[in-house]
Structure 1
Amino acid sequence: MHQIPYHPPAHTGLALLHCDDALLIVDKPAGLLSVPGRGEGMQDCLAARVQAEYADALIVHRLDLATSGILVFARGAAMQRALSVAFQSRAVEKGYVAEVEGLLAEDAGSVDLPLITDWPNRPRQKVDHAIGKPSLTHWQVVSRNRSTHSTRVALTPVTGRSHQLRVHMQAIGHPILGDALYGTTRGQAAAPRLLLHAATLTLPHPVSGTLLRIRSDAPF
């Protein structure tokens, strides 16, 4: 099992993007767990930090430790159920921004490759055409940087598999810069963190049904 040392960023206050009686939307910093991890010294996480200020907050979905950006918390169990149904029924649209290694030849495309946990090397995931779960990601080039030989892309996951965006970009030969699990040596050295950010979220409000459109600019 590949164990990455945990050094959470200092808590300098919650970056709230939306707050009402039904839900909270928070900007998660890179390097912070969404929920407590297993083992000693793994309790500091965004859920704990949010619950210290909003005791009824319950997490609805997660982001990887290394990924920054938009994360949704429900206010109470009933709202958690309603929001979980919205996520599971794909009524929620999520958009990410990433900086990947190399210059993508096309301007847009899709990666349709089944994924499964690579058990001897977990938490790594891998493409497995025999027993992997269907996984689909759409990508679109935002800009190309020829001096750094990298490409900024907008990523839209249709499914929500663990590490999906990271494995899919690696699988097409363009791993995300700063990726300690899937990146090349050059790509890992090119950034101090994983350059993946949950940048947009559109979801129906669990009480009013009004579409909430949340945006968080990538900090890279």
Structure 2
Amino acid sequence: MSNTLFQAFTTNIGTIPLPDAFTFPFYYEPHELSRIAANKLQNYLETQTDFEHNFGLDEKQKGLEIGKMFGVLVVQNQNGEIGHLWAFSGKLAESNHHSKFVPTVYDMLDDSGYFKKEEIILNQYNAEIEALEQNHDYLSAIKHLEQTKLQAEKEITAQKEQIKRGKKDRAEKRQTATPKQLEQFNKESQDEGIFLKKMTQYWNYKLEDAKQNLEQFTNKINQLKEERKEKSAALQQQLFTEYAFLNKNKELKSLAEIFNGNPPAGSGECAAPKLLHYAFQHDLKPICMAEFWWGKSPKSEVRKHQQFYPACMGKCEPILKHMLKGIETDKNPFEINSANGKELEIVFEDEHMIAVNKPAEFLSVPGKLITDSVQTRIQSKYPNAMIVHRLDMSTSGIILLGKNVESYKYLQAQFIKRKVKKRYVALLDGVVPVKEGTIELPLRVDLDNRPTQIVCFEHGKPAKTEWKTIEIRNNQTLVQFYPITGRTHQLRVHAAHHLGLNCPIVGDDLYGTKANRLHLHAESITFKHPFSKEAMTIQVEIDFKKPNAW
């Protein structure tokens, strides 16, 4: 196969050393070669006239605004030349194919392909079902059944009311009635009951007749829907089987095999799998890669224009595990104990509780891969101690622990009832023009990319943050946060999201740009002591809140 999409570098890269290992795709700093390739792609996107797509960057452009993730893969061909490939996630301008980008691994939009042919059959089912559901006789049958139900209910109810009134009237007359009159009253009561029974039978017959008339249509519609369901499920399974990815050993593995038959929606459509699959197809050696966002951020996620992002965990991790088999990658940073060599500062301690100042990049509790944490270190000295609340691994600041069950429960209850007052200090990357305010954006986990959180007004949990500006300097804003709720990544998302402050915290590698650390610190906490029940405040300041340390 000819490497028609292999692009040589147009700048001199001879002095740039190649990386020792391929990019770890789920947490990385782009290699210089990846940055050069990405810059070339971004320049193309700014000037191209090959397609029309509204990225949301031009207010005058009409149409649905859709930002897009793009990827670059630096590769080496069989002649030893270094070049790069381009890809986009999903579709671009409603198409899978554009001349400068690698194609999708499995093209569902190919008119001659299996998927499109089967889709035609499914559409025929849809058309037939829709025609039946709009059929005049079917709609009349529905209306007739509803009218019959209403009329039956109306007449039967009226007869029951008539019986009730007659019974009451006869009851009054029975006090002075003659035997002959009593006999007549009994007969009237029996006749009314018989009439109600016959009326009920009549309407039951009419209802059954109306139902059978309607079932002529509903049975056919339900049969078609069941056939469509089975056909759609079979198509999905066929797709999952045919949608297969190569690795460097030319081993194919399908979505069905990778995800045990049930992949998340959109699996395989991201830029990274497309790039690697094309490289392996054309005997190109992967050197390094990077992905960046281009355009307006989605409503729920935090995505910044031109910023680099890691591959998603939910959809890409299982696929890339197969595709990168046999390729040495950079070490997984999640397996490195970043707390190694760091000390926990105890800022308060008595026989009931402990307060520690947790360093940044230090777990509050043991993780899946790393056990070193605030909890394990304190428990090594006080085995009965229990951590009351947590901070994100990247956030520094005050954490409380109870030394016994009673103290732990008393402190924890204050957090549950939101009686604890917390103050954080954060340095934001940008200028916040407002002095203070309140942010209320509900949050939930991004199911395809844990532990990232997204704003979701439908399924998110309420999240509320009060804040105020302390100082603005060098295009950065120092703020204090007062979280009313305690959701995962609440302050980070509320700072970065465009409906929040639209300024990510400096060093936020999930919602902003990586730096030497996340500039977020839990500096003050006010609560009631578990034994004395007196209010107490613990405060630990940090250097980055001081202007001369910026």
Find the counterpart in structure 1 of residue 421 from structure 2.
93
* RMSD of aligned alpha carbons: 1.5
Matches within 5 A, 1:20-39: 20-39=350-369
Find the counterpart in structure 2 of residue 139 from structure 1.
467
1:211 to 522, 535, 540: 535
Counterpart residue identity of residue 396, structure 2? S
What is the SS of the residue equivalent to 2:410?
A: helix
CA contact 1:117–1:125 (8 Å) conserved in 2: yes
Instruction: Report the structure number with the largest CA radius of gyration.
Output: 2
Counterpart residue identity of residue 507, structure 2? G
CA separation of 1:47 and 1:219: change in aligned 2, threshold 3 A:
farther
Matches within 5 A, 1:71-220: 71-145=399-473, 147=474, 149-171=475-497, 172=500, 173-183=502-512, 187-188=513-514, 191-220=515-544
CA contact 1:33–1:64 (8 Å) conserved in 2: yes
Gaps spanning 5+ residues in structure 2: where? 1-312, 315-331, 545-550
CA separation of 1:153 and 1:36: change in aligned 2, threshold 3 A:
same
Partner Cα distance (2:380, 2:467) in 1? 37
Deviation at 1:141? 0.4
Deviation at 1:57? 1.2
Counterpart residue identity of residue 504, structure 2? P
What is the SS of the residue equivalent to 1:61?
A: coil
What is the SS of the residue equivalent to 2:485?
A: coil
CA contact 2:344–2:359 (8 Å) conserved in 1: no
Find the counterpart in structure 1 of residue 390 from structure 2.
62
1:19 to 341, 349, 355: 349
Find the counterpart in structure 1 of residue 294 from structure 2.
none
Residues 153-186 of structure 1, C-alpha deviations (whole Å, 9 max, x = no match): 0000000100000000111311101001110xxx
What is the SS of the residue equivalent to 1:52?
A: helix
What is the SS of the residue equivalent to 1:156?
A: strand
Deviation at 1:14? 2.9
1:48 aligns with 2:372: no
CA contact 1:23–1:73 (8 Å) conserved in 2: yes
Gaps spanning 5+ residues in structure 1: where? none
Higher normalized contact order (CA 8 Å, seq sep 6+, divided by chain length): 1
Report % sequence identity.
Answer: 39
Residues 36-92 of structure 1, C-alpha deviations (whole Å, 9 max, x = no match): 0013xx011111111122222110000000000000000112211111101111111
Residues 21-50 of structure 1, C-alpha deviations (whole Å, 9 max, x = no match): 1110000000110000013xx011111111
Deviation at 1:9? 2.8
Residues 92-130 of structure 1, C-alpha deviations (whole Å, 9 max, x = no match): 111100000111101101111111111111100010011
Partner Cα distance (1:53, 1:87) in 2? 25
* Alignment TM-score, normalising by the size of structure 2: 0.37
What is the SS of the residue equivalent to 1:143?
A: strand
Q: Which has the higher strand share?
A: 1
Deviation at 1:207? 1.1
Partner Cα distance (2:342, 2:465) in 1? 34
Q: Which has the higher helix share?
A: 2
* Alignment TM-score, normalising by the size of structure 1: 0.91
Partner Cα distance (2:333, 2:472) in 1? 30
CA separation of 1:116 and 1:107: change in aligned 2, threshold 3 A:
same
CA contact 1:8–1:44 (8 Å) conserved in 2: no
CA separation of 1:156 and 1:56: change in aligned 2, threshold 3 A:
same
Counterpart residue identity of residue 197, structure 1? H
Partner Cα distance (1:176, 1:94) in 2? 18
